[in-house]
Chains A and B, each alone.
Chain A
Amino acid sequence: DQQVKQNSPSLSVQEGRISILNCDYTNSMFDYFLWYKKYPAEGPTFLISISSIKDKNEDGRFTVFLNKSAKHLSLHIVPSQPGDSAVYFCAATSGTYKYIFGTGTRLKVLA
């Protein structure tokens, strides 16, 4: 039972344009969401998070949007840079210390 889903396994975007990565979840108890970035053969690094009491959180080029009614969140990267090429994971938790991750989306930013 995949509670957190990233339905797009890959995405290609031109440098300077916007990258939009999507994530859906099924568990309505989730109240905190995170995005991680992962390079090959390395551990994921934290990017940005959002609490369920908000619908938007921004940090530099990264913005996360949360639509609770649709159980959907998205990560926007503007402008996209070649160094952003990586696998992006969304994760969710319900305050029980369990972090459930999605299957990941491989982003390729083309120069």
Chain B
Amino acid sequence: SQTIHQWPATLVQPVGSPLSLECTVEGTSNPNLYWYRQAAGRGLQLLFYSIGIDQISSEVPQNLSASRPQDRQFILSSKKLLLSDSGFYLCAGGGLEKLFFGSGTQLSVL
């Protein structure tokens, strides 16, 4: 099985500041990687997914971007955070049968 490492666990950022969340994967090579967001009172919204290095699909037009510089590294970024970017961000890895999730980052934009 895969292990998804995600940090930090919590983050408080001012509006307009940049963001970089990093996720790394152990236990597999060439994984599919995902960024999800859980906003307060809402479900898990798929933000980005990647089936390979530099192959990234964006699901929702927004203030965020993603990059995959290495096979097992997935980065979520923003140049200027908005209040609406607050939420619980989850990185996941997997294939056709299931996804494994990291422990998440609670982002509060103030």
Q: Name A residues whose Cβ lies closer than 8 Å to a Cβ of B.
A: 6, 32, 34, 36, 41-46, 49, 89, 91, 93, 95, 97-104
Contact = CB atoms under 8 A, between A and B. Distances in A.
A49 B97 CA distance: 8
Contacts of B9: 41
Interface of B: 4, 6, 9, 32, 34, 36, 42-46, 49, 51, 57, 59, 88, 90, 92, 94-104, 106
B104 A102 contact: no
Contact of B90 (A43, A93, A103): A43
Given A41-B106, A91-B44, A97-B49, 20 more contacts: A6-B43, A32-B97, A34-B98, A42-B103, A42-B104, A43-B6, A43-B92, A43-B102, A46-B100, A89-B43, A89-B44, A91-B99, A93-B96, A98-B46, A98-B49, A99-B46, A99-B94, A101-B43, A104-B43, A104-B44
Q: Is the interface of B mostly helix, strand, loop or mixed?
A: strand
Nearest to B32: A97
Instruction: Among B9, B43, B45, find the residue whose CB has the most chain A CB atoms closer than 10 A.
Output: B43
Contacts, number: 60
Nearest to A89: B44
Contacts of A97: 32, 49, 51, 95-96
A89 B103 CA distance: 16
Contacts of B102: 43
A98 to B, nearest CB: 6
B99 A46 contact: yes
B103 A49 contact: no
A99 B106 contact: no
Given A34-B98, A89-B44, A101-B36, A43 B104 contact: yes
